Structure 1
Amino acid sequence: MTGSLTVADISTYLEHTGWRRRPDGWRGAAVWSHDAYDVLVPARDGMGDGDLRVHELVDVLATVEQREPAEIARDIGSPLADQHWYRTFAAGLPSGFTTLKAGLHAVHSVLAVVNSAARAVIDGPHFAFAGKESSAVERLVDRVQLGPTRSGSYVFTVRVPLGEEPELTRRVSLQLHDAAVAVRDAAAAGDLAAFDDTVTAGVSAELCEGLAGLAGVAGREPFELGFRWARGLPSDLPATAVGFGEGYGEVIAEAAGRLRKSDHTAEVTVTGAVESLHDEPARADRWRIRVRGEVAAAKGNRRVLWVRLPDQDAYHAAIAAHQAQQQVRARGVLSRTSQRAELIVPPNDFEVLG
């Protein structure tokens, strides 16, 4: 695996993970330092001792990062792929093992989690999704790759190549991260009502069902979601993990049922960019837009909301804002339309900013 790694990919990986190139080299090789560690990077690809140097470098990185060399080599060779991991803790089993039934259950849960994040990105927030996913969602999910498992306790690795739609694909990973944080915080509060305010973060019944499935067949084991961002598309977020404690799975499973039958309404303000516009003349409530931005009092700032505008004047203002790339602000009541979360704006509560 290390023989296929290029000097350019190695160098960008070292820079991305906090290593610094020293001004002095050694016999033509570049010297990179991190704390008490130094590594040598060959001057160019194809040098006689290049494979040996790269093997030594990957072994040092494995020590520094406490990860397997093969996993690090895959990351170096994949500059345009986000990495996820899903860590489960099978009770009574040694590190690196899970039961066959629990493993199958976890893989199905990983698929459900990724699928629900993709649907939230494409279709906007929903309390629960109805019907089959769209072809756009299928294309995104089909891009995701299931990698080899690793120990500690039992870890499913997933690679998400950014492909020809890097910004859109990255939004799926960011959406999943934000939703996981919102679910963890709501579960930690121990109050199912706390989940009512997570829908704007992309939390749905399907996402909760998928996360609950990672808590083991009985739903009580701890679990963890991890994220490492492709260095070819920098992110403001560092590599991070979102941990769920023992018993959280049961709470999250109950929350899934609550979201499926929720009639919750809440006062919401969203500020952001108009992402798309939808005029359906056959409907009385014909004017809708999708706004990507920040929801007041919600954690994080990557939210997409369907907004139902009160009249044609507001819709024309939204068109102008979209064309001029201006921010808008909408205030109203977040309520359920079918399964979708939709912000219903009364007259005079939609404005174009500056």
Structure 2
Amino acid sequence: MQPPPIGDITGYLRATGWTSTGHWRGAEVWSRDEFDVLVPPAAELPDSAARLRELTRCVADAERRAPAAVWRDLGRVRFDVIGYRGAEPTESVPAGLRAIQAMRDLLALSAREALGADGSADALLDRARIAVGDELFGVDLILPADDGRRTVLRLLHNCTAARRAADTGAAPDGVPEPVCLAVADLAGTGRACPFELAFRWSPLNPRPHEVVTFPAGAGVRIHAAAVAESATVTTAESATAVVAGPVTGLFDDAEGERRLIRVRGVLELDGTPTGRRRTVPVRLRTETDYERALAAHRDGRSVRAEGAVTDGRTRGIAAAPGGFTVLDHT
């Protein structure tokens, strides 16, 4: 394996509590507690390989980890990692292949949610990498943190919602059916086995690491809820949805949910009211529409949104072009 760039090594050391304390024979000295390591000025020097091996062993001792794991992480400094692990070291061939395909589907679906359908999602998938997990059956998806973070956050959001749904037996709000089915497919033979998804972030753009743990039977419940929900919304998928009322919330996170507002009103499908007034999620198409919604919320004015029905237990609207207007009355 090619050694990681020296800048990535120092970035890892800095992010994990090491401090630059001087130089010795051209190498930079980094220290942590009673440990000292030497970082060569360039990876191409004759003695750099030996120094990097020594550095890896010393960092492993300081962190009480295996040198192979440290070397792996030194090469992932600029990447976010999604780690899937089953409950056993091995899995049946059909269940194992289904789980690997499910991880690919989860990544692709989350990328398209986060980045849109302009080709950015496919470009990100081309840059992503996959690695086999150690000890337990599983794989790591490795994404560049610079333009992949939004997708990883969306995948984390979807999986967390699916985990909650496993306890309630209901399909998660706002999570498309294919995402739920993919999560369920990670649960091994019969979709009945426990598994976990670990989210580890680039040390150069750190966040607290997170683990979403799915107990035995969660996959069965998620799959059943998603299939049942699909049956209830199929007839509404081709309908035109409309809601009018005040804006009660707005969300526009550059690394997560984009241009989402909540409108309190009666959701109509092809002109037929679906129930009482409630909060309806509406995804806007443009920054201009979002700014108009923000102004309407500030001024206490009502809005009207028209478009296609979005997936999820709580039906919402994806506003059509020109389908968002601010009303003259409050």
Shared fold per TM-score greater than 0.5: yes
The equivalent residue for 2:151 is 172
CA contact (8 A) 2:18 2:30 kept: yes
Structure 1 position 148 matched with structure 2 position 132:
yes
CA contact (8 A) 2:250 2:261 kept: yes
The equivalent residue for 1:261 is 231
Structure 1 position 227 matched with structure 2 position 184:
no
CA contact (8 A) 1:21 1:30 kept: no
CA contact (8 A) 2:183 2:219 kept: yes
The equivalent residue for 1:109 is 102
| Cα distance in 2, alignment partners of residues 350 and 66 from structure 1 | 65
The equivalent residue for 2:187 is 215
1:88, distance to aligned residue in structure 2 (A): 0.8
Structure 1 position 4 matched with structure 2 position 3:
yes
> Which deviates the most, 213-222 or 337-346?
337-346
1:293, distance to aligned residue in structure 2 (A): 5.9
| Cα distance in 1, alignment partners of residues 99 and 162 from structure 2 | 18
| Cα distance in 2, alignment partners of residues 122 and 222 from structure 1 | 31
Q: Alpha carbons of 1:319 and 1:67: their partners in 2 closer, same or farther (altered >3 Å)? A: same
Q: Match of 2:192, SS?
A: coil
- Aligned to 2:39, which of 38, 41, 52? 41
| Cα distance in 1, alignment partners of residues 33 and 128 from structure 2 | 35
| Cα distance in 1, alignment partners of residues 163 and 304 from structure 2 | 25
CA contact (8 A) 1:274 1:321 kept: no
Q: Alpha carbons of 1:76 and 1:328: their partners in 2 closer, same or farther (altered >3 Å)? A: farther
CA contact (8 A) 1:224 1:241 kept: yes
Q: Alpha carbons of 1:262 and 1:8: their partners in 2 closer, same or farther (altered >3 Å)? A: same
| Cα distance in 2, alignment partners of residues 332 and 141 from structure 1 | 37
- Aligned to 1:121, which of 102, 114, 117? 114
Q: Alpha carbons of 1:134 and 1:257: their partners in 2 closer, same or farther (altered >3 Å)? A: farther
After TM superposition, the structure 1 = structure 2 runs for residues 243-282 of structure 1, keeping only pairs within 5 Å, are: 243-263=213-233, 269-273=248-252
CA contact (8 A) 1:149 1:155 kept: yes
CA contact (8 A) 1:219 1:247 kept: yes
Unaligned runs of 5+ in 2: 264-280
| Cα distance in 2, alignment partners of residues 79 and 7 from structure 1 | 11
Looking at CA atoms only, which structure, 1 or 2, has the larger radius of gyration? 2
1:79, distance to aligned residue in structure 2 (A): 3.9
| Cα distance in 2, alignment partners of residues 331 and 181 from structure 1 | 33
Structure 1 position 99 matched with structure 2 position 99:
no
Identical-pair percentage: 27
CA contact (8 A) 1:117 1:172 kept: yes
Q: Which letter does structure 1 place at the counterpart of 2:317? A: E
| Cα distance in 1, alignment partners of residues 9 and 253 from structure 2 | 39
Q: Alpha carbons of 1:319 and 1:6: their partners in 2 closer, same or farther (altered >3 Å)? A: closer
Q: Match of 2:190, SS?
A: coil
Q: Which letter does structure 2 place at the counterpart of 1:253? A: H
What TM-score comes out, normalization by structure 1 length? 0.66
| Cα distance in 1, alignment partners of residues 328 and 214 from structure 2 | 38
**Higher RCO (C-alpha 8 Å, min separation 6):** 1
The equivalent residue for 2:269 is none
Q: Which letter does structure 2 place at the counterpart of 1:150? A: D
Q: Alpha carbons of 1:261 and 1:328: their partners in 2 closer, same or farther (altered >3 Å)? A: farther
The equivalent residue for 2:283 is 306
1:225, distance to aligned residue in structure 2 (A): 1.0
| Cα distance in 2, alignment partners of residues 333 and 104 from structure 1 | 46
| Cα distance in 1, alignment partners of residues 4 and 119 from structure 2 | 35
1:102, distance to aligned residue in structure 2 (A): 2.6
The equivalent residue for 1:130 is none
1:331, distance to aligned residue in structure 2 (A): 8.3
Instruction: Summarize deviations over 1:90-113 as a string: whole Å, max 9, x none.
Output: 3xxxx3x33323321211111121
After TM superposition, the structure 1 = structure 2 runs for residues 131-210 of structure 1, keeping only pairs within 5 Å, are: 135-151=119-135, 153-161=136-144, 166-167=146-147, 169-187=148-166, 190-193=167-170, 195-196=171-172, 198-199=173-174, 203-210=175-182
Structure 1 position 342 matched with structure 2 position 317:
yes
| Cα distance in 1, alignment partners of residues 80 and 208 from structure 2 | 12
| Cα distance in 2, alignment partners of residues 177 and 140 from structure 1 | 17
Q: Alpha carbons of 1:112 and 1:68: their partners in 2 closer, same or farther (altered >3 Å)? A: farther
